[in-house]
Chain A
Amino acid sequence: MAEQIGSLHFRLTKRFGGKTVLDDFALEVRGREFVTFLGPSGCGKSTALNLLAGLIPPSAGEIWLDGTRIDGLPPERRGFGMVFQNYALFPHLTVFQNIAFGLELRGWPRAEIAGRVRQMLDLVQLPGFEDRYPGQLSGGQQQRVAIARALVIQPRLLLLDEPLSNLDAKLRLEMRTEIKRLHADLGLTCIYVTHDQAEALSLSDRVVVMREGRVMQAGTPAEIHDRPQNLFVADFMGYRNFFSLTVTGGDPDGTVVGRAGPLTLAGRGAAPLPPGAAGVAAVRPEDVAVTGEPPGPNVLRGRVRLTEYLGREYDLEVILDSGQTVKARVAQPVAVGSTVGLRLPAERVVILLSEDGGGGIP
C-alpha cells in the first residue's frame, strides 16, 4: 500500500569533533527488503539511522533514493517513518492525536484522519485506546502506538532504532513476530537497528554487521551465522572457541587444514588461505560434541572444569593439556573432573584469517 521504493543507496561518513563515527559506510537497500544494522553499543548504528532520516548532517557522502539525491532534504521532506528506541510519543497528545499527527501535517480532512487512525489501531491490535495518553500505556502498547504513528503516513522507508530493547523478554518475542508480520503484509522497506543477534537473524533479509562505523560483513542471516568472514563477526555471532593455527593444506572445495600445536583441525575456510598462512579456527559451543573417539584430527581430550545447568542442556568448560579452555554445550551431564573427548565437526568449524591488531582472539 505504501509507495514502493526501487532502491536506496548511500555512502556516508560522520565525524563528531575529531572522532570518526561512520567511516565510508556504504550500502544498497532494495525495495521491500528488511535490512538490519547489527553491532555492539557505540558502533554508529543510531548515527547511521539519524543520517538517513536527515536528523543530523553527514560530514561527507551522499544518499540516493531511486535516482534522486536526497541528503540535502530536511527530514520532513524525505517521507520516511521512524520508530525510536524510547518511542518518543508526544506526552501531551492522546494516542489518537499521536497517530493523527503526521496526517494533520499533510492536511488530510478530519473524517479521513479518523478512519485511517482507527484502521492503524486495528492493525497494531490496540482498538479502543484512542483517548489514552502515552503515560497511561504499558511499554508494549507505547511501542505499538509508535509503530502505528510511523506507519500511518505510508512511509517509503521505515527506520527502526532498537524498538524492542525496552521490553521484557516475552513481549520482545511477541513484538518481533508482529514487526515481521507488518513487514510482510504491508510490503514495507525497513532498516532495523539492533545489538541483539537473535533479533537480527530472525527478522532480516540481510544483516549488516558493523564495528566502529565500518561494515564488517553483510549477508543473509544464514551467511552471517554460518560463514562469518572475520574474527569480529564470528565472536559477535556466538563463536566462543578459537584456536590459532598455521595452515598446512586445503581442498579446492574450501576445506582448510591447519595445525594448532599438537592438534590438527580441519574446517571451512572463510577466505583462500595458502599453506603457511596464520589462521584461526572458530567453533560454537553448540557445535562441540562429546565423543568416545581417540584423539585425532578435530578430536581433542580434556578435563571438565565446570558445568552449568541451563534447563535443557549443560554448558561445559573443558581444559585441554595445552591449558586452553574449550566451551561445549551438551545434552547429557558430565562429572566435573572427568576426562572427556570432544569432537569439533569439520563442517562446523570456520577457519578465518588471523588479523593482527584487528579482532584478536577474544
Chain B
Amino acid sequence: MRTEAAAAAAPLAKVRPARRLEGAGPALLVPSALYVLVMFVYPFCYGVYLSLRPGKGEGGLSVANYLAFFLDPWQARTIWVTLSLAVPNTVLTVLLALTVAYVMRRGIWLERTITTLLVLPIALGTVLVAEGINGFYGPKGWLNQLLLMAGLPDPIRLTHNYTGVMIALFVQHFPFCFLMLLGYISGIDPALEHAARVLGARPWDVFRRVLWPLIAPGAAIAFALVFVMNFGVFPSAVLVGQPAGATRTIAIAAYQQAFEHYDMSMASAIAVIMGAGQLVGLIIVLLLRGRLAATGVATMGAGKR
C-alpha cells in the first residue's frame, strides 16, 4: 500500500522542485555527515590512536598493546571463546529463523500474536531477558523444578556457563533475524512459487531452485548482522555466563582492562581487535554472497537488486 502511494506520488513530486533540490543535495548531506564524523569517526580514530600509545601515554606510537594481547594466552584465548559462541549461535539463529519464516511466508493462524510474542525480547532489553533466563533455566528455575518433580535426580546446569550465553544470545537475536527474513521472504511474489509448481516443481524443488536463490542475499545480510551482534556479546556473557572462564569473551577482556585495570590504552587495543574480528566476519559473508551472485544464483534478490 505504502509503495503504491509513493509510486503514485512520485511523478507529481518530480514536476518541478526536483531541479532545485539537485543542487541542494550535497548540502543536505552535511548534518548527517557531521553527525557521523563527531559521533563515530572521531571516537573511532581516537580509540585507534589511544591503542597505539601504551603506558599512560609517554613515548611515541607502538604496537606493544597488540603484541601483549596476542602473546598472552589468557587474553588471546578470548578470540577463540568469542568465536565459539558467535559462530554456532549465528548459524543456529539464522537457520531456525529461516525455517520459521519460510513456513510462515504465506501467513499462518494467529500470526500477529506469534509475531508479537517473538518481538517481545527485543523490547525488553538484554538485562531483563538475562534475568528471565536465570529465572527459567537457572538451578532453581521453573524448568529445573519441573524436571526435578518429574524425577530427575539433580538439576541440570543451563546458566552461568556456555549454554546460558547461547540461550541468551538466541533469545535476543532470533526475533530480529526472524522479522528481517520474514519481511524478505514474504516480499517474494507468490506467483513465482505457483509458476514453479505448475511447471512441475515439488515443494523442495521450489525452495531449492526458485525461492532459496532469491532469499540467499537477504539471508547473508541477516547472517552478517547476527554475527556482528554475537561477536560483541557482553551483558549476557556476564549475567548468564561464566565471565571468569568459559564465556570470557573479548568484550569482557576490554571491559576489564578499562574499568578494573584502568588501562584505557590496552582496552582500546582490545576494542580495535574486536572491531577487526567483526569486520573480518562481515567481509567473509559478503564475499560468499558475492560468489553466489557471480555463479548466477543470486543475481537479483526479491527486495534488492
Contacts and interface: CB of A to CB of B under 8 A. Distances in A.
Interface of A: 50, 53-55, 74-76, 78, 80-82, 84-86, 88-92, 94, 101-102, 105-106, 133, 135, 149-150, 153
A345 B262 CA distance: 104
Contacts of A149: 195, 199
Nearest to A83: B195
B200 A106 contact: yes
A88 B201 contact: no
A41 B90 CA distance: 47
B56 interface: no
B216 to A, nearest CB: 9
Contacts of B297: 92
A135 B300 contact: yes
Contacts of B189: 86, 88
Nearest to B194: A55
B210 A53 contact: no
Contacts of B299: 92, 133
Q: Which of B194, B195, B201, B299 counts the most chain A CB atoms within 10 A?
A: B195
B214 A91 contact: yes
Contact of A101 (B191, B209, B214): B209
B199 A101 contact: yes
A86 to B, nearest CB: 6
Given A102-B199, A153-B199, A153-B200, A82 B300 contact: no
B191 A86 contact: yes
Nearest to A134: B300
A110 B209 CA distance: 17
Chain A interface, DSSP helix/strand/loop, else mixed: loop
A53 B193 CA distance: 13
B197 A105 contact: no
Contacts of A55: 194, 197-198
Nearest to A152: B199
B199 A88 contact: no
Given A86-B189, A90-B192, A76 B300 contact: no
Interface of B: 189, 191-192, 194-202, 205, 209-210, 213-214, 296-300, 302, 305
Contacts of B199: 76, 81, 101-102, 105, 149-150, 153
B200 A88 contact: no
Nearest to B210: A90
A53 B196 CA distance: 12
Nearest to B188: A91
9 contacts: A54-B197, A76-B200, A88-B194, A90-B192, A90-B195, A90-B210, A91-B302, A101-B196, A101-B209
Contacts of A106: 200
Contacts of B213: 92
Given A92-B300, A149-B199, 6 more contacts: A54-B197, A76-B200, A88-B191, A90-B196, A91-B192, A105-B205
Q: Which of B198, B297, B298 counts the most chain A CB atoms within 10 A?
A: B198
Contacts of B201: 76, 101, 105
Nearest to A104: B209
Contacts of B298: 92
Contacts of A90: 192, 195-196, 210
A76 B197 contact: yes
A78 B198 CA distance: 8
Contact of A75 (B197, B210, B296, B302): B197
A82 B297 CA distance: 25
A53 B198 contact: yes
Contact of B198 (A75, A86, A92, A135): A75
A78 to B, nearest CB: 8
Contacts of A80: 198
A76 B296 contact: no
Contacts of B214: 91-92
A55 B198 CA distance: 8
Nearest to B296: A92
A105 B205 CA distance: 8
B192 A76 contact: no
Nearest to B195: A88
A84 B209 contact: no
A54 B197 CA distance: 9
Contact of B194 (A78, A82, A133): A82
A92 B298 CA distance: 6
Q: Which of B200, B209, B299, B300 counts the most chain A CB atoms within 10 A?
A: B200
B12 to A, nearest CB: 22
A83 to B, nearest CB: 9
Nearest to B299: A92
A135 B304 CA distance: 13
Nearest to A82: B198
Contacts of A86: 189, 191
Contacts of B302: 91
A207 B192 CA distance: 28
A153 B189 CA distance: 23
A12 to B, nearest CB: 17
Contacts of A135: 300, 305
Contacts of A92: 213-214, 296-300
A82 B296 contact: no
Nearest to A101: B199
B196 A84 contact: no
Contacts of B296: 92, 94
Nearest to A76: B200
A153 B199 CA distance: 8
Contacts of A94: 296
A68 B297 CA distance: 39
Top 6 nearest A-B pairs by Cβ distance?
A: A88-B191, A102-B199, A88-B195, A105-B200, A75-B197, A91-B300
Nearest to B209: A101
A149 B191 CA distance: 14
B270 to A, nearest CB: 42
A85 B194 CA distance: 12
A44 B52 CA distance: 72
Contact of A82 (B195, B205, B210): B195
Contacts of B192: 88, 90-91
